[in-house]
Amino acid sequence: MFKKYNLVGVLIFINLTTFCQTVAEVNAAFPDKEIVYLNFNQELALKIQDGIVVAQSNYARDLMILSKTNAAVYSRSKVYHSSFNELTNLTAYTKVPDGDKYKKVKIGEQVTSGSQRSGVFYDDSKETSFDFLGTVPNAVQCLQYSTFNKDAHLLSPFYLPSSVPIMAATYSVVVPNDITIKYVIKNDPTNQFIFTEEKKKKETVYTWTVSKYKGIDGYGNAPDNSYYDPHIIVYVTSYTSNGKTEPFLADVNDLFKWNTSFTKDINIAPDAAMQKIVDSLIAGKTTETQKAKSIYNWVQHNIKYIAFEAGLQGFKPRQAADVCNKRYGDCKDMSSIITTMLRLAKIKAYYTWIGTRDLPYRYSETPLPIVDNHMISTANINGEWVFFDGTDPHAEYGVPPAFIQTKEALVALSQTEYKILTVPTIDAQKNGVLDSTFLTINAEGVQGNQSVNYYGYMGEDNYNALLYRNEAETKDFVKTKMGKASNKFILGKYKITNTKPEENIMNISAAFTIPGYSKKIGNEYYINLNLEKLFENQSVDINKRKVAIEQDYNYTINQYHILQIPEGYTVSYLPPNFNFDNELLCLKLQYEVKNGTVIAYQQVTNKTLLIQPDKFVKWNDAAKAVAAQYKEQVVLEKK
């Protein structure tokens, strides 16, 4: 049992946060804002306790409510904690305007419950929730709490909140002389953090302050806030205990040593039952690729992914034999069973730690557990590195899941040797859509038949989306995927063909009608053959948006709309061909008259996963260039 810090220090810290700003001052600093933090403070105190580096964090935050219409919306509050980061103290109250003074109003009942969060190794997170009572315009919600971190490997960065402005923020780190640290400042190009360092007799206090922080507006299609929110990462590099200096997280070697402490005792003894399964899977297979593919597909189809970890189990893979017997596991368990089964087939396979694309960090910059939140298996097959992620039931052999593209992978070649590999970005030509749509004009509008092939990540998306849908839900999905031209689109009979599930190739065919589409004036038909304007309304407001645009993967959409020319008509106007190509994307619109049809071809190729704000102008160039082309119509004239 860890001892808790004396909370006297916590109370001293909290007393220093008493707010002094008036409503007028806050409104002047941040006009038209509904909420503003008057203070947003954290003190991190490191300590060696029983030979282990631990930490106490003390938080003090005062939030002023300025909204006259939505004051009650902000009354609910939550504090998150876990078995590693225990909540040790919580004080909260509302300061409600009372004439020219404030009166304190206690919070409602505190309720602690589980808080399931995705993207982390363990889900034993908890949340303590409560209501700030008396939340009215100009009231101030005062919150102070402390957490005790049992393992300083797992320190959390200090974040400024995304969209909430702050009058004053302070982050202080108290480091005793027997502990050494490093720190990294992220997403602070204008140097908003002001740094001071105060050396005392037995400790050093590092402090960062920020004044009048405006916050960053959130946007859709954006990467995780860690890519753009200002934050400070502090980590322990070494400590001295009983006269001996011990490394902690000085570099990747230390991180690797910590990671492999969770794998060193698993899958040591051979398991006859697993060997029998492996032998059956590789029987008749002559190449390592064939054997590895058979094993990987078996795991995908027979071991269900379930995240159920808690405490240290959030970091330690389970025995492969147990995973095999129970037929379920989390990402670490998938790594365990895939690695073990490949090794039983005499294939060189290794436990691998990796971060998803939610995390912007690299091992070279921050050799910390925050770099990786996922675990996979890596094998060297025929001299090439192949990544295996058993959490995705439709991930194609040899193609890493989209959410780990570009990421560094820490591969454990042994208990003492590792290799850092970079997961490749899959080329746009390998992911996409081939749409062939045949159209005829009738008195009511147009009718047609589509045949759409999906492949690569786009096919995988479809397979995953349809995995648990019933008939009605499947029809809704198909209508969404196949809908064209307008909200008058009527889906007819359709068919889904799992062409090559192992390669994520799928075909959806459908009949449809679109009443009122096409216009007849006198002896002429006017019809826009861009039934799907794939790059319409894509312009970015560069004066407002300061956050990158994230794409799940690169892709190519090839689309053919083939119109049967009505009998007795000829083409009197065909729109000009259009080509646009830059480093971000390629757009094509081409028209051709052939064998009694008009063929309109559209291609969109996305070339990048992350469009940074300095590339928005080039992105907008494409949107502007294609906008006029999308308005072009084919004109058919009666002979």
Q: Per residue in 562-578, pLDDT tens?
A: 999 999 999 999 999 99
Task: Give the Cα separation of 105 and 405 in Å (integer).
Answer: 50
Q: What is the pLDDT of residue 308?
A: 65
Mean residue pLDDT of the chain comes to: 92
The mean per-residue pLDDT over the stretch 392-398 comes to: 92
The mean per-residue pLDDT over the stretch 46-74 comes to: 92
Three-state DSSP string of 173-224: EEEECCEEEEEEEECCCCCCCEEEEEECCCEEEEEEEEEEECCCCCCCCCCC
3-state helix, strand, coil in the chain (%, to 5): 20, 40, 40
What is 571-590 written as a DSSP string?
Answer: EEE-PPPEEEE-SSEEEEEE
Task: Give the Cα separation of 59 and 40 in Å (integer).
Answer: 8
Of the pLDDT bands very low, low, confident and very high (cuts 50, 70, 90), residue 15 is very low
| 79 SS3 class | strand
Nearest residue to 496 (alpha-carbon basis) of 474, 514, 512, 480: 474
Task: Give the Cα separation of 127 and 112 in Å (integer).
Answer: 6
Q: Per residue in 433-487, pLDDT tens?
A: 999 999 999 988 999 999 999 999 999 999 999 988 999 999 999 999 999 998 9
Q: Per residue in 63-73, pLDDT tens?
A: 999 988 778 88
Cα angle 395, 397, 401 (rounded to 5 degrees) comes to 35
User: Is the pLDDT score of 14 beyond 50?
Assistant: no
Q: What is the pLDDT of residue 126?
A: 87
User: Is the pLDDT score of 311 beyond 80?
Assistant: no
User: Is the pLDDT score of 122 beyond 50?
Assistant: no
Which helix (H) or strand (E) covers residue 426, if one does? none
Task: Give the Cα separation of 159 and 466 in Å (integer).
Answer: 38
Q: Per residue in 158-190, pLDDT tens?
A: 999 888 999 999 999 999 999 999 999 999 999
User: Is the pLDDT score of 232 beyond 50?
Assistant: yes
Q: Per residue in 126-159, pLDDT tens?
A: 899 999 998 999 999 999 999 999 999 999 999 9
Q: Per residue in 398-439, pLDDT tens?
A: 999 999 999 999 999 999 999 999 999 999 999 999 999 999
Task: Give the Cα separation of 130 and 108 in Å (integer).
Answer: 6
Tokens, residue 372:
């990786």
User: Is the pLDDT score of 8 beyond 50?
Assistant: no
Q: What is the pLDDT of residue 9?
A: 42
Cα distances (Å, whole numbers) of residue 57 to 41, 42, 174, 211, 338? 10, 7, 10, 21, 39
Tokens, residue 454:
């999906």
| 538 SS3 class | coil
Report the Cα–Cα distance between both ends of the chain, in Å, rounded: 92
Nearest residue to 253 (alpha-carbon basis) of 415, 436, 383: 415
Are the CB atoms for 13 and 91 separated by under 8 Å?
Answer: no
Phi-psi category of residue 119: left, alpha or beta, with phi > 0 → left and psi -120 to 50 → alpha? left
User: Is the pLDDT score of 220 beyond 70?
Assistant: yes
Q: What is the pLDDT of residue 21?
A: 77
Of the pLDDT bands very low, low, confident and very high (cuts 50, 70, 90), residue 1 is very low
Q: What is the pLDDT of residue 101?
A: 87
Are the CB atoms for 106 and 24 separated by under 8 Å?
Answer: no
The mean per-residue pLDDT over the stretch 227-255 comes to: 95
Q: What is the pLDDT of residue 10?
A: 41
Q: Beta-carbon neighbour count of residue 184 at 10 Å?
A: 14
Tracing tokens 């002979």 back to the chain, one arrives at: 639
Q: To the nearest whole percent, how much of the chain has pLDDT over 90?
A: 84
